[in-house]
Structure 1
Amino acid sequence: MVAPLSTWPWENLGNFKYLLYGPLVAKVLYSRRADEVLPQQDVWCLHLLIICALRSAIYTVCTNHSNSHYHTLKHRILPEGVGFKQIDSEWHWDNFIILQAFMAFMACSSFPFLVDLPLWNSKGVLYALIFHVGISEPLYYWVHRYLHSDYFFSNYHSLHHSSPVPQSVTAGLATPLEHLLLGVIIGIPIIGTCLIGFGSLRLIYGYILIFDYLRAIGHSSVEHVPHWIFKTFPFLRYILYTPTYHNVHHRELDTNFCLFMPLYDALGGTLNKKSWELYQKVRSGANMPKPDFVFLCHCVDIISSLHVPFFSRSFVSLPYTTRLFVLPWWPVAFLGMIGLWIKSKAFMVTGYHLRGKIHHSWCVPRFGFQYFLPFAKDGINKLIEDAILKADKTGVKVISLAALNKNEALNGGGALFVNKHPNLRVRVVHGNTLTAAVILKELPEDTKEIFLTGATSKLGRAIALYLCRHKVRVMMMTLSTERFQKIKMEAPEEYQSHIVQVTKYEAAQNCKTWVVGKWLTPGQQRFAPPGTHFHQFVVPSIFPFRRDCTYGELAAMKLPPDVEGQGTCEYTMDRGIVHACHAGGVVHFLEGYTHHEVGTIDVDMIDVVWEAAMKHGLRPV
């Protein structure tokens, strides 16, 4: 049997729970329409709605700041990332704001003196502080300790401790009973100050929002409190807790129970002596996680640049699609584009752990269209080069280049950097060997003929040479006879007859297997016969204009099931799925290959890399 007040009554409503604010909204709108001046009772309905919005914003902004890894990585308390399981469990973290909004509404209805308050009373701050330090802090301390007793912990408080990496919104992951108690603790200083006649509107706003800010900071996975504060004022170590202090409580459950003041843990004998030592280590940067593998990606377009953890961790935990709530943020994304244009180095976006090793994704601050501007070529290569040198300096073993970062016309598939810096310890990988393998393994075993566009690219060349060895006829769509002949001469003489040059799309009107490496217009797609399947490695993907044909996705692979802390979907990919070039870098790292994978694809390595991927638990989508 479920313990009372251990589950939320509106749990099954999902996002429709926000309709519970409806009565407050209706009361404000109705009163506004009926009277020119709102009655005080209805004014407080408006205040409650504003306070709820501000409370949500505080936790959201603090969480997003913690996920700004490029800015906070040095002071991370835990190296682990936030996984999909934790994100899902904390999806409705703001349930407590709804609950406490109605607690406040009932308080206003029950205590008329809370309604008619002045805007400001300076004495109220002092009395609220006395109530907080003298009543709320010790009360929370003892309630929190009691919640760690066997019955209450297993039925109520264990939910809050189920998140392996605390973040600001983790403060909201708790049962209704806990938030009812917390609502009382928040209310004591407010009601007490108003009872003795020193309450004010600003006091209520200020106390609640500061309370939430301190809780949001305390549950953060990043140490925000600078060391100079405690160095200048040592006694503050007992007055103000830190994120490190609270993180210790999440790992060692019998210590550090305070609300905001470690003083009560010191008085109660529950102060963890490791807290200060760990705090100093984190603030010094000695705890900063150093990656073993890096995937170097780039932005695609302006609006998809919002698909990052520091904009919204829930949004980025789902495959990217353009959603309505994102569109109003377009001006912000545009300004971000300008800022990224100015920014002079790659930055960390997200990361995960795989078999005890740290994998990071860094982003080159450039958008897709910029890669096709002739004057931007040198600048982009400089950014990629700097990222590679940074990875080399920090001890990264493998750096894998994404999509346009390894464009042949840009840097020869990464060969430019390897040739320029022959003593690199980091291995530079374009990952296209595994990309080719994924595309080839998607083809039906009984395939006898394919039509190939983008035929003279790195991938097109490798696909053509591989298939001709397996006696598959390859129609290579290219206008360059010289480049075609060069590729054809690379094939063993006995298989060269299986490679055929075509210069018009009409030549493929009887071929149902198209492998697309170059953008196809609707007019070009119409030459495919009904029932054609378009396999593709073109970026961006072609639009599916033909209803009588099927379209494949970009080459991708599912990471091994033992990945930990992955909470970000890679662009349009599903959870746990990455682009094949990313997976190719992972395989290169797991296998411990000592060579750079740049320039042309070694056709003989296609099956070798595929088998290695299977061995390490990667799977085709």
Structure 2
Amino acid sequence: MPFYDYIYGTMDKSSDSLYESSLQRPDYIPDAIYLTHPTTLQSIYHLRIGFASLASKPFTSKWYTWLMWPVTLWSMIVAWIYGRTFVAERNVFKEVKLQSWVYRLQWQQEALNKLIEEAILEADEKGIKVGEELNRNGEIYVGKHPKLKVKLVDGSSLAVAVVLNSIPKGTSQLLFRGRPCKVALSIVSELCRKGIQVFTIRKDEYEKLKNALTAQDAKNLVFSEKGCNQKNWLPRRVMSAWRIAGIVHALEGWNVNECGDELFDVDKVWDAALRHGFQPQLTSA
């Protein structure tokens, strides 16, 4: 309300009711949500609701964030007590309304699974179509709540498509590093099927991958004890394939779950992502 109108008694009587009515609007129901979590306590400052200067750059630990440790500790305690997801950002892409929901750090697996389950049920109650990036590929929640209307998308198919389509033509050998999850198994299986030799440097990874391959494809899987250096970070203005997959599912209106051990059509989701303007990040060798 105008300050001086209030002081001198010249305020219109309808000002309060007009202000209150202007705040009333239909609930903002997104078409897709991206469920994620901070990686470290300091990483909360890299969210959009944190510091814009930090959020505009790849995550690195800064000395001055340690000076804010009391605030960091307080936020952790609040999150621990209330244990709820919160909306970190809202976006609109074409006709699809998007939200990013953030939950606390993954320390206690059982408590986190419960928190994710509550977020899924809340999304389903609100009529949200697609939920992305879920622990254990979301299969446990689909089995526990078979009548869910919200579709869970872990984005594995697009992640596989991005990797396969980013490998230069003519490549004959690749080094695999990482936990043999659904995405890794699908990538290694397809590479071996194409005749590309895939090397692993850990015996346990080699055994798990070999057991998941056919006898013919396993011939292209090679165990090597030579190590390598690696780095893994996501630059700004780049979105993960897991997040994009949920957006693509919403844009295309695919009324299917992509979770558990199931993998969506890799070529189909890749073509759809390109058609909607998403492009793989090109990196120099």
TM-score scaled by length of structure 2:
0.85
Report the Cα offset of residue 418 of structure 1.
0.8
Structure 1 pair 453/320, CA: closer, same or farther in 2 (3 Å)? closer
1:301-331 Cα shifts (integer Å, max 9, x gaps): 0111222333334443444333444331122
2:255 is matched with 594
SS of equivalent residue, structure 1 residue 414: helix
Q: 2:173 aligns with which of 446, 449, 468?
A: 449
2:228 is matched with 525
Structure 1 pair 356/341, CA: closer, same or farther in 2 (3 Å)? same
1:605 and 2:255 equivalent? no
2:100 is matched with 361
SS of equivalent residue, structure 2 residue 33: strand
- In structure 2, what residue type is equivalent to 1:427? K
Would the aligned equivalents of 2:185 and 2:209 in 1 still touch at CA under 8 Å? no
Structure 1 pair 317/450, CA: closer, same or farther in 2 (3 Å)? closer
- For 2:169 and 2:15, locate their aligned partners in 1 and report how far apart those are by CA, in whole Å: 61
How many correspondences in the alignment? 278
What does residue range 365-404 of structure 1 map to in structure 2 within 5 Å?
365=104, 367-368=105-106, 370=107, 376-401=108-133
Q: 2:185 aligns with which of 461, 465, 470?
A: 461
- In structure 2, what residue type is equivalent to 1:525? C
2:32 is matched with 293
Unaligned runs of at least 5 residues, structure 1: 1-240, 242-258, 371-375, 507-523, 527-533, 535-541, 543-552, 555-571
Structure 1 pair 261/588, CA: closer, same or farther in 2 (3 Å)? farther
TM-score scaled by length of structure 1:
0.41
Report the Cα offset of residue 601 of structure 1.
5.1
1:260 is matched with 3
- For 1:426 and 1:262, locate their aligned partners in 2 and report how far apart those are by CA, in whole Å: 50
Report the Cα offset of residue 497 of structure 1.
5.0
SS of equivalent residue, structure 1 residue 321: coil
1:215 is matched with none
- In structure 1, what residue type is equivalent to 2:249? H
Structure 1 pair 418/267, CA: closer, same or farther in 2 (3 Å)? same
1:486 is matched with 211
- For 2:209 and 2:120, locate their aligned partners in 1 and report how far apart those are by CA, in whole Å: 33
1:338 is matched with 77
SS of equivalent residue, structure 2 residue 168: coil
Bigger Rg, structure 1 or 2: 1
What does residue range 281-320 of structure 1 map to in structure 2 within 5 Å?
282=23, 284=24, 286-320=25-59
SS of equivalent residue, structure 1 residue 461: helix
Would the aligned equivalents of 1:292 and 1:357 in 2 still touch at CA under 8 Å? yes
1:122-161 Cα shifts (integer Å, max 9, x gaps): xxxxxxxxxxxxxxxxxxxxxxxxxxxxxxxxxxxxxxxx
Q: 1:496 aligns with which of 195, 217, 220?
A: 217
Structure 1 pair 427/304, CA: closer, same or farther in 2 (3 Å)? same
Q: 2:244 aligns with which of 569, 583, 593?
A: 583
Unaligned runs of at least 5 residues, structure 2: none
Report the Cα offset of residue 439 of structure 1.
2.0
Q: 1:614 aligns with which of 265, 271, 274?
A: 274
Report the Cα offset of residue 276 of structure 1.
4.2
Task: Determine what percentage of the aligned residue pairs are the same residue.
Answer: 27
- In structure 2, what residue type is equivalent to 1:608? K
Structure 1 pair 323/483, CA: closer, same or farther in 2 (3 Å)? closer
1:516 is matched with none
Report the Cα offset of residue 422 of structure 1.
1.0
Q: 1:326 aligns with which of 60, 65, 84?
A: 65
Report the Cα offset of residue 363 of structure 1.
0.7
Structure 1 pair 474/482, CA: closer, same or farther in 2 (3 Å)? closer
- For 2:140 and 2:278, locate their aligned partners in 1 and report how far apart those are by CA, in whole Å: 30
Q: Which consecutive aligned stretches of 4+ in structure 1 deviate over 6 angstroms post-superposition?
A: none
SS of equivalent residue, structure 2 residue 34: strand
Report the Cα offset of residue 414 of structure 1.
1.0
Would the aligned equivalents of 1:450 and 1:472 in 2 still touch at CA under 8 Å? yes
Larger relative CO (CA 8 A, sep 6+): 1 or 2? 2
Structure 1 pair 473/280, CA: closer, same or farther in 2 (3 Å)? same
1:505 is matched with 225
Q: CA RMSD in A?
A: 2.9
- For 1:616 and 1:607, locate their aligned partners in 2 and report how far apart those are by CA, in whole Å: 14
Report the Cα offset of residue 432 of structure 1.
1.7
- In structure 2, what residue type is equivalent to 1:393? E
The structure carrying a bigger helix percent of its residues is 1
- For 1:478 and 1:588, locate their aligned partners in 2 and report how far apart those are by CA, in whole Å: 37
- For 1:353 and 1:303, locate their aligned partners in 2 and report how far apart those are by CA, in whole Å: 28
Report the Cα offset of residue 465 of structure 1.
1.4
1:111 is matched with none
1:280 is matched with 21
Structure 1 pair 267/334, CA: closer, same or farther in 2 (3 Å)? closer
- In structure 2, what residue type is equivalent to 1:587? V
1:216-265 Cα shifts (integer Å, max 9, x gaps): xxxxxxxxxxxxxxxxxxxxxxxxx1xxxxxxxxxxxxxxxxx535679x
